Structure 1
C-alpha cells in the first residue's frame, strides 16, 4: 500500500510549471502505459492549453487547484477546485484559466 498527498504534489508541480517555459509539469501518480488505469497529476499555469487530442478511454479530470475549461466541439465545461469533469468520448482540449492542478484519471479501452 502507498499513500500520497495530492495537495503536496499539486503544490510541487505548480512551482515546477511556473519555472518551466512550457507552463506545465506532470507526474504519473498511479498506473502507467502497461495498465488499464492511469492517474496523472498535471499542473498548468494560467493561459496554458493542452491542445485538442483524442480521448484515450474513459476519463475524468478532478480539479485539485485553480480553474480550467475543457472543450469538445461546440461544448465546454468549466471546473474549479473540487470539481470533477467527465471527459466526453471525443476530441477535446483543456485550458488553464488560472494556475491549476488537475488529476487526470484514464481507463484505457
Structure 2
C-alpha cells in the first residue's frame, strides 16, 4: 500500500532537485487505471496535452492552475473552485463529487485548485501550472470498455 503524503513529499523533493522543476511517479497501474503523483515547483508547468477518456486531478499539496491550450491564464480564484459553475467534478456538492456534469475546457481551463480540491479534467487540450510548490494526484482511465449493447447498436 502506498502513502500519498509520503509519495507527494518525495516527488516534491525530486522536483526541487530537477532542473525542470517537476517530477512524477506512476504508483498504480491496473489494466486501464493509472494513478500518478506529479510534483511541480512554483512557476513550473506541464505543457499543453490531452487527457485520456476519463481523468481527475486532486491537489495533495499547494496551488495549481489548469491552463487553456492557447496559453492564456484566465483564472477563477481558488476560493470559488467548489462553487457551481456548470462544469467538472468541482461543481455542486460540498465534497465536489456531483456526477453527470459537462467538462468543457472553456469553463474548466484557467481554473485554480488548492490542496484538498478535486476536479474532472477536460477532454480538450490544456496545461497545468504550479502557482506554488505543488503535488497532485492524477487518476486516469486510459481505455473504456465497449458494452455489448452499444456494440450491437453499431452493427445494426
- String of CA shifts for 1:32-79, please: whole Å, max 9, x gaps: 6xx211000001000001010112221010000000001235542110
Alpha-carbon offset, residue 108 of structure 1: 1.3
2:18 to 17, 20, 25: 20
RMSD over aligned Cα atoms:
1.3
Alpha-carbon offset, residue 4 of structure 1: 1.2
Structure 2 unmatched ranges of 5 or more? 70-105, 144-156
1:43 to 39, 46, 50: 39
What TM-score does the superposition give when structure 2 sets the normalisation length?
A: 0.64
What is the count of residue pairs matched by the alignment? 105
2:116 counterpart residue number: 82
1:52 counterpart residue number: 48
Query: Quick check: which one's strand share is greater?
Result: 1
Aligned partner of residue 14 in structure 1, secondary structure: helix
Q: Considering only CA atoms, is the larger Rg found in Structure 1 or Structure 2?
A: 2
Structure 1 unmatched ranges of 5 or more? none
Aligned partner of residue 127 in structure 2, secondary structure: strand
